[in-house]
Structure 1
Amino acid sequence: MSLTKEQTQHLYHKLLDMKKELSGEKKETESMTEEVGELSNGVDNHMADHGTLVTDRMTDQTVREIDRELLEEVNHALQKMKDGTYGVCEKTGQDIPYERLKAVPYARMTVEAQADMEDELETDAPSFEREFHEQVKDLSNKETVDQKSSQTYEILDREQDSK
C-alpha cells in the first residue's frame, strides 16, 4: 500500500523541519589553543581540566558528525520524494509502512531489511568496529543519552574497573 497524498505531505514537512533544525546555526566553538590558553593562564590548573576540555571537544565533534550524517539522510529522502521513489525499500523494493516513516522519515528500508543489513554488518565487521558502531548508536540515541545503562557507559565502567 503506497502512501496517501496527505501522508506524503506530512512526511515532507517533517523532513523539512528536520533539515532546518540540522542545518541551523551551530554554536561556534573556540579553537583548542584559545581554550587551553584560557586554562593555562590560571594558577594551579589541574590536568583533569585539560582532559575535560579534550573530552568535551571530542563529544562536540562526534555530535556534529552525527548531525551531518543525519542531514545527508534527510536530503536523500527529500531527493527520493522528488524522484518519486520515497517510501520504497532500497533493498527489497517493498513499500515502507507509514508508521515506520512517521517514526523515521528518512528510512531507506523496511524494518526487516534494516535488521538483515545490520546482522550482516555485525557478522562481517571486526569486533572493535562492532563495538564502536554500538557506542555511536548509544551517543546518537536520545533514549540512552545520559543513562548509565547504555553500552558506552558499561564499557567505560569496565575500563575504569580494570585500572
Structure 2
Amino acid sequence: MALTKEQNQHLYHKLLHMQKELSGEKKKTQSMTEEVGELSNGVDNHMADHGTLVTDRMTDQTVKEIDRELLEEVNHALQKIKDGTYGICEKTGQDIPYERLEAVPYARMTVEAQADVEDDLETDAPSFEREFHQQVKDLSNKETIDQKSSQTYEILDREQDSN
C-alpha cells in the first residue's frame, strides 16, 4: 500500500530533522598533542593513558564515519522523495511498509530484501571485511557499545594478550 500524503509529509520532516542533526556543527576534536600535553612533559606518563586516548580517538572517528554514511542515506531518501520514488524497494519494486519507514526513514528496501542483501554480503565478503562490519555494528549498537562481550572487545583483548 502506497504512503498517504500525511505519512509522506511526516517522514519528509523526520528526514529533514535527521539531516539537520547529522550535518550540524560537530564538537571539534583536539589534536593528540593537545590531549596528551601534560602526559608528554613527564607527569602521569602512563601507557594506559595513551591507550585510552587512542581508543577514544578511534571510537570518535568510527562514530563520525557512521554519521557521514547515515547523512548520505538521509540525503538519498530526500532525493527519492523529490523524484517520487520514496517508499519503493530498490530491489523488489514493492512498497516499503510505513512502519519500517517510520523506524528507518532512509530505508531503501523491505526488511526481507535487506536481509537477503546482508546475507549475500556476509557470504561474499572476505573475512577481514566481515570482521570490520561486525566491529562497526558493535560500536554503533547501543546494546553492545559498553559490553565486553562484543567482537570488537574480543579482538582488542587478543591483540593486547599477544603483546
TM-score, length basis structure 2: 0.91
Q: Could you list the runs of 5+ residues in structure 2 that have no partner in the other structure?
A: none
Structure 1, gaps ≥5 residues long: none
Query: How has the CA–CA distance of structure 1 residues 161 and 31 changed in structure 2, closer, same or farther, with 3 Å as cutoff?
Result: closer
Structure-2 change in CA distance of 1:82 and 1:137 (3 Å): same
**Residue 42 (structure 1) shift:** 4.0
Q: Could you tell which deviates more after superposition, 137-146 or 113-122?
A: 137-146
Structure 1 residue 79 corresponds to structure 2 residue 79: yes
CA distance in 2, matches of 1:44, 1:31: 19
Looking at structure 2, the residues matched to 149 and 55 of structure 1 have their Cα atoms a distance apart, in angstroms, of 17
CA–CA distance in structure 2, aligned partners of residues 95 and 88 of structure 1: 5
Indicate the larger mover: 100-109 or 153-162.
Answer: 153-162
Please give the secondary structure, in 1, of the residue aligned with 2:36: helix
Q: What is the percent sequence identity of the aligned residues?
A: 91
2:19/2:75 contact within 8 Å kept: yes
Contact 2:96 2:109 in 1 (8 A): yes
**1:73-99 Cα distance to aligned partner (Å, 9 max, x none):** 001000100000000011111111111
SS in 1 for 2:42: coil
Deviation at 1:158, TM superposition (A): 5.2
Aligned counterparts of 1:20 and 1:153: Cα–Cα separation in 2: 32
More divergent stretch after superposition (73-82 vs 126-135): 126-135
SS of 2:77's equivalent in the other structure is helix
CA shift for structure 1 position 159:
5.1
Aligned length: 163
Equivalent residue of 1:30, what SS? coil
Contact kept in structure 1, 2:59 and 2:139, CA below 8 Å: no
Distance (Å, rounded) in 2 between the aligned partners of 1:16 and 1:147: 33
Distance verdict in 2 for CA 1:63–1:9, change over 3 Å: same
Q: Kindly tell me: are residues 7 and 117 of structure 1, through their superposed partners in 2, closer, same or farther at Cα, counting changes over 3 Å?
A: same
Cross-structure match for 1:5 = 5
User: For residues 45-81 of structure 1, what are the alpha-carbon distances to aligned partners after superposition, in whole Å with 9 as ceiling and x for unaligned?
Assistant: 1122111111111111111010000001001000100
Structure 1 pair 43–154 and aligned structure 2 pair: CA distance change class (3 A): closer
For 2:89 and 2:155, locate their aligned partners in 1 and report how far apart those are by CA, in whole Å: 34
Cα distance in structure 2, aligned partners of 1:17 and 1:149: 34
Return the alpha-carbon distance in structure 1 between the equivalents of residues 162 and 39 of structure 2. Answer: 30
The equivalent of 1:32 in structure 2 is 32
